[in-house]
Chain A
Amino acid sequence: MILLSAYCAVLLSFASGLLALMMHQRQTLSAISEYGFNTFFTRNVHCRGWINKNLEERRFPFFLKQAVFVLLGLSGVFAVIAGLAVLLSKGVITDQIALGLPWLPWHIRFDGLSGFFFLIIGIAVCAVSLYGPGYVRTYKENEHPFAALGLFTGLFVTGMLLVLLADDAFMFMIAWELMSVASYFLVAFQHENSANRRAAFLYLLMAEVGALSIILGFGVLASFSAGFTFDALRDANLSTTWASIAFVLALLGFGMKAGIVPVHVWLPEAHPVAPSHISALMSGVMLKVALYGLIRFCFDLLGDVQWQWGVVLLILGTLSALGGILYALMQPNLKRLLAYSSVENIGIIFMVLGLSIIFMANGHPQLAALGFLAALFHAFNHALFKNLLFLGAGIIHHQTHELNIDMMGGLIKKMPQTSVLFLVGCMSISSLPLFNGFVSEWLAFQTALQVDVLDNGVLRSLIPVAAAALALTAALAAACFVKVFGLIFLGQSRSRNSEKAHEVRDKGMLAGPALLAGLCFFIGIFPGVIIHLINNVSGQLLGHTLPNDSALGWLWLAPVSAEQASYSPPLVLIGALIAAGVCYWYLRRSPLTVIRRAETWDCGFGGLTPRMQYTSSSFTMPFRRIFAKTWIIDEQIKKDLQGAMNQDVGAVHYQLHIQDHSWPRLYQPIAQGVNSLAKQVGRIQTGNIRTYLGYSFATLLLLLWVIS
């Protein structure tokens, strides 16, 4: 039954992709329906009328788009049901499907870990399918065909769900490639800009290099085992060296997809150019699938984790978290900023996962379960709020046709509902209390504070440094999202487009983000719900749950023990309501003190203009000076001098260009190396047929000599 709903989720997403292909088949569809009604269902008059009405020329595209997204949404609902069911039943379900080559059936395994990620995907897909119909309406059919968008969205979701179900390396890789390639077409959807094509190519290139590395990782495991099924790989008996090699390969492959520094460069290129609901899926969900892959590979397939791996994850995670948020801070483009912030959040998840591995390898499985809990919880939270923020960015883009933060402002009055939803997202991602981001960060700190139990001196001093970096990351994230919300929604409009913006009319476009925002708040107040689910996962995967399962009541959060640390969000909420209520009631009693509205004080000079406001680059100027070494900053100020002796400044031209260090430091040398290698190889390619015949002859001689 559980597996059936999982299959339903996969099939429905696939069906939604196929249905989108029907976009140009209106005539065929009407012919089929005519035939069907004339021969089989001759009595169904109502049904026939309804279908015929929707098959009319004018209504058909609208109807089909709705239908595609309804199927996708149903797929999401089934994914949520399947995920919840398998998590609550604590069971493991296996199956075989005779697809593919005759002697290689697909092995299916649906356990707690898959179920948890099913839940994440399901929620995200539900939100996206509520949001989608309104959003895709702006695309012109002849420029950006819906058939392509719908098909690849369906395939993309199918691929992600299949990755989670896979129980052998073949099926895993096929599903993985389906996910990668489908998302490549989605990134390249608006391919009329050369920048988009370039981003899509970069994405495909890195996805394939990553996939290659994953295949090699599986290959190392497979060479020590009897087959390619995960069961066989689990039994593989590897020496520490080979296990570490497999780990590094898997880390490279999955890390490339997840966007770990320094292999994150495709993220800020690809996410901004995809349609917003696709960026939401890519950033919120696909990165989590990569995380799933890493967890499956390390904790499940490799089994015996080494503490050194944990250190590697911890260091890479810290670098990604700090690097991601510092780059995000400098971005004026909203979607690029969100993409960099995904790098940060993935970094945090990797950090905590590293802690979990360290505790596991040092024989503290309960603390490992705590770290694992924090990592998965943060993955869940990040899926919620990053989806929310990307969908919000989509609404803003839809209404203002701008993505540059410096061109917005004052949208809180024009788009009141969107602004509230976006504010919830910003507060969650800045990890403020009462919202979900705070809970996972709190758990991460609690994990790091357990360092006292370790014996290794290096680890004992390394982990506090990582905790310090986590604290810095959180504070910088708050600064970053104050900038985002403040510049987009507050102040005065900085451009005509944002001046004319208004709230979206499509209720679905608000319902999707509202669902996510509601969940962000609900999980922030009642985190026990999700923690209970994750505890089942860690019980299955690590063999250990949190020390005191019973203390995890709905009111209290006490992961280690009630004496060590506890947090009760509902009580905090009640306290906050009481405090705010009392002072509101006390201060608003007197009718004399009604608010008077007046012009803003302009120091008597008159005429405050929107251009006098702080912009993205001025807001982040102190950070730019303090962390100057982090970026490659190209700042140019040119003054137009005029008047006698060139003493008056007419106009000032200011240019700021900020670049990632990883391009010139890492990628350009690689690209140059490949180029020069290709040139060397090119030398033997003379273009002369006689030379080539000579090569063939020489090769033949050589081979004859070898076999003789």
Chain B
Amino acid sequence: MNWLIAILQTTLFVVLAPLLAGWLKMCKCHLQNRKAPSLLQPYRDLLKLTHKQPVVSEQASWLFVTAPYLIFSATVLAASVVPLIAVNLPTSASADVIVMVGFFAFARFFLALAGLDIGTAFGGMGSSREMTISSLAEPAMLMAIFTLTMTASTTNLSGAIAHVLNEGLILRPSFVFALFALILVAIAETGRIPVDNPATHLELTMIHEAMILEYSGRHLALIEWASQLKLMLYGVLIANIFFPWGISETFAAKDLGYGLLAIAGKLALLAIFLAIAETLVAKMRLFRVQEYLSFAYLLGLLGMLSHIILEASR
């Protein structure tokens, strides 16, 4: 039963990810006085891509065509660890939050290699920048998450969220720091403004798009889907760690329904915030990103220190 719920939840994660991307695009369009595409447009795009014949460069090796599958499955595995509508997942026990960060690293490793595989300057540029940004973002993310895990004294994500839920509403300074750190990291890791711009191609500042420039057809669909999944994953992390209320603690159908409604509401709200931020803020220069990310790192560290100094019980 537990495993069934876990698989169901993961499927829900995978299926709903394009919807969140569509909703985000819709909010942004409204904010920028543009006519929005349908909420289902990301699904149509993915479907279209899977039906197209993929064109692969003659230079490409086996790694190039294998990478999308690896990237997608690693991201799905990461999603399976994160409680979406219910806690007490068995999958959370088999892979804790450090492993989840490891899955992201796995996906990124192959994405960067795929960027280098064709041997074009764009791919190399994307890989180099992606690895730079992620190597600053990953520690910041771990710091933010460690604050949570030390408070809950478990690295099991389900257990940690259940702990926060049971503690009730306490304002912890460490959580405020960690929340901001995680938001900054999420923006950087999912390639949103001001770090990267998902809407542009052929701009010298692009990062994510530069790596996947050579992909087409089903390979592109997998990578796009994986990045939508990643966006949703970060959203769920922020929503469920810091505002876990509404998540189901039992596996009763009614509770699960409420859990789904709660997370849908939280994500919709987060997406609106993100859209507003993306509309207001301009993209920053690549070499300002380090300051941005070291700020996130510092916030994460401050969160951890304030937990240790102010909150931890002796």
Residue B23 lies at the interface, judged by CB distance under 8 Å to chain A: no
A468→B300 contact, CB < 8 A: yes
**A-chain residues with CB within 8 Å of residue B76 when the two chains form the complex:** 579
B227 to chain A, nearest CB (A): 15
Asked if A607 is at the interface of the complex by the 8 Å CB criterion, the answer is: no
> Interface with A: B30-38, B238-246, B261-269, B306-314, which one?
B306-314
B209 interface residue per 8 A CB criterion = no
Contacts of A569-606 to chain B: CB distance below 8 A: 571-572, 575-576, 579-580, 583-584, 587, 590, 592-602
Could you tell me if A580 and B96 are in contact, using CB atoms closer than 8 angstroms? no
Q: Are A472 and B139 in contact (CB under 8 A)?
A: yes
Would B156 and A460 count as touching, CB distance under 8 A? Answer: no
Instruction: Report B-chain residues with C-beta under 8 Å of the C-beta of A104.
Output: none
Measured CA separation A355–B110 after assembly (Å): 33
B-side contacts of A492, CB under 8 Å: 59, 119
Q: What distance in Å separates the Cβ of B226 from its nearest Cβ neighbour in chain A?
A: 10
Q: A327 to B141, alpha carbons, bound, how many Å?
A: 24
B154 at the A/B interface (Cβ < 8 Å)? yes
Q: Which of A464, A468, A592, A621 contacts B308 (CB 8 A)?
A: A464
C-alpha gap A562/B158 in the complex (Å) = 13
Interface segment among A342-350, A476-484, A637-645: the answer is A476-484
Q: Is B65 an interface residue (CB 8 A)?
A: yes
Q: Can you list, as one digit per residue, whether each of B48-76 has a CB less than 8 Å from chain A (1) or not (0)?
A: 00111111111101110100011011101
A594 contacts across to B, CB distance below 8 A:
53
Q: Is B113 in contact with A612, judged by CB distance below 8 angstroms? A: no
B156 to chain A, nearest CB (A): 7
For the complex formed, measure the closest distance between the CB of A332 and the CB atoms of chain B, giving whole angstroms. Answer: 15
Q: Are B94 and A568 in contact (CB under 8 A)?
A: yes
Residue A620 interfacial (CB < 8 Å): yes
Chain B residue with the shortest CB-CB distance to A444: B98
- Does B99 belong to the interface (CB within 8 Å)? yes
Check A622–B55 contact: CB distance below 8 A.
no
Q: Does B277 contact A (CB under 8 A)?
A: no
Residues of B151-183 whose CB lies within 8 A of A: 153-156, 159
Which one of B130-138, B190-198, B251-259 is at the interface?
B130-138
Asked if B125 is an interface residue, CB under 8 A from chain A, the answer is yes
CA distance A432 to B134 in the complex (A): 14
| Residues on B with beta carbons closer than 8 Å to the beta carbon of A584 | 69
> Contact at A598–B57, with CB atoms within 8 Å?
yes
- The answer on a CB contact under 8 Å between B138 and A471 is yes
Q: Assess whether B301 is in contact with A468, with CB atoms less than 8 Å apart.
A: yes
Cβ B128 vs Cβ A430 within 8 A: no
Q: B56 contacts A597, CB within 8 Å?
A: yes
Question: CB-defined interface of A465-492 with B at 8 Å, one 1/0 digit per residue?
Answer: 1011101101110110011011101111
Question: A567 to B128, Cβ gap below 8 A?
Answer: no
Contact between A572 and B53, CB atoms less than 8 A apart:
no
CB-contact partner of A567 in B55, B94, B108, under 8 A: B94
Residues of chain A within 8 A of B89, CB atoms compared = none
Q: Is the CB of B112 within 8 A of A482?
A: yes
- Selected from A427, A461, A593, A621, the residue in CB contact (under 8 A) with B109 is A427
Known: A563-B159, A598-B56, A618-B128. A490 touches B116 (CB 8 A): yes
**Residue B105 CB within 8 A of the other chain:** yes
- Return chain A residues, CB-CB under 8 Å to B80: 575
A interface, by DSSP: helix, strand, loop or mixed? helix
With a cutoff of 8 Å between Cβ atoms, the chain A residues found around residue B94 in the complex are 556, 566-568, 571-572, 575
* A410 adjacent to B51 (CB under 8 Å): no
A412 at the interface (CB under 8 A from B): yes
Contact present for B109 and A478 (CB under 8 Å)? yes
B residues within 8 A CB of A427?
109
How far does the Cβ of A204 sit from chain B's closest Cβ, in whole Å? 37
Main SS class of interface, B: helix
Q: How far is the CB of B97 from chain A (nearest CB, A)?
A: 9
Contact check, B52 vs A593: say whether CB atoms are below 8 A apart.
Answer: yes
The total of chain A residues at the interface (CB under 8 A) is 84
Which of these, A467, A566, A576, A580, contacts B146 with CB under 8 Å? A467
Q: Which residues of A contact B65 (CB under 8 A)?
A: 595
Does A153 count as interface, using CB distance less than 8 angstroms?
Answer: no
Are the C-beta atoms of B116 and A620 separated by less than 8 Å?
no
Give which listed residue, B99, B124, B146, contacts A572 with CB less than 8 A.
Answer: B99
For the complex, give the distance between the alpha carbons of A622 and B96 in Å. Answer: 32
The chain A residue with its CB closest to the CB of B57 is A600
Question: Could you say which residues of chain A place their CB within 8 Å of the CB of B9?
Answer: none
Contact of A600 among B129, B135, B136, B214 (CB under 8 A): B214
Q: Is the CB of B153 within 8 A of A452?
A: yes
| B72, A583: Cβ atoms closer than 8 Å | yes
A105: interface (CB < 8 Å)? no
Cross-chain contact A564 with B121 (CB below 8 angstroms): no
Q: Decide: A567 near B99, CB < 8 A? Known: A457-B309, A464-B146.
A: yes
In Å, the complex CA distance between A265 and B65 comes to 42
A201: Cβ under 8 A from any B Cβ: no
Find out whether the CB atom of B150 lies under 8 angstroms from the CB atom of A449. yes
Q: CB-nearest residue of chain B relative to A564?
A: B154
Cα distance, A583 to B77, chains bound together (Å) = 13
B271-312: contact bitstring with A at CB < 8 Å (1 yes, 0 no)?
Answer: 000000000000000110010000001001100110011001
Report the Cα distance A483→B143, complex, angstroms: 26
Residues of B near A489 (CB, < 8 A) are 61
Closest CB-CB distance, B163 to chain A, in whole Å?
10
A468 and B139 contacting across the interface, CB-CB below 8 Å:
yes
Distance in angstroms between the alpha carbons of A486 and B74 in the assembled complex: 20
B260 to chain A, nearest CB (A): 22
Minimal beta-carbon separation of B221 from chain A (angstroms): 8
CB-based contact B113/A485 at 8 Å: yes
Report chain A residues within 8 Å CB of B287.
622, 625-626
Alpha-carbon gap, A50 to B32, bound state (A): 87
Which residue in chain A gives the minimum CB-CB distance to B303? Answer: A464
Closest CB in chain B relative to A555 CB, distance in Å? 9
Query: Could you mark each residue 140-166 of chain A with 1 if its beta carbon is under 8 Å from any beta carbon of chain B, else 0?
Result: 000000000000000000000000000
Residues in chain B near residue A479, CB distance under 8 A: 131-132, 134-135
Determine whether the beta carbon of A600 is less than 8 Å from that of B138.
no
Question: A433 at interface (Cβ–Cβ under 8 A)?
Answer: yes
With contact pairs A492-B59, A600-B118, A613-B120 given, residues A620 and B128 touching in the complex (Cβ less than 8 Å): yes
A491 touches B72 (CB 8 A): no
* Apart from A412-B61, A468-B300, 17 more pairs, CB < 8 Å: A445-B142, A461-B305, A464-B146, A464-B304, A478-B109, A482-B113, A482-B127, A482-B131, A566-B156, A576-B74, A580-B70, A597-B55, A600-B57, A600-B120, A612-B120, A614-B125, A619-B128
Nearest 8 A-B pairs (CB), nearest first? A614-B124, A491-B119, A486-B116, A471-B139, A475-B135, A579-B73, A479-B131, A568-B94
A-B pairs with beta carbons under 8 Å apart, 24 shown: A412-B62, A431-B105, A464-B305, A464-B308, A468-B304, A472-B136, A472-B139, A475-B136, A479-B134, A482-B113, A483-B131, A491-B59, A491-B117, A562-B93, A572-B99, A598-B57, A600-B57, A600-B118, A601-B57, A601-B214, A612-B120, A619-B128, A620-B128, A623-B135
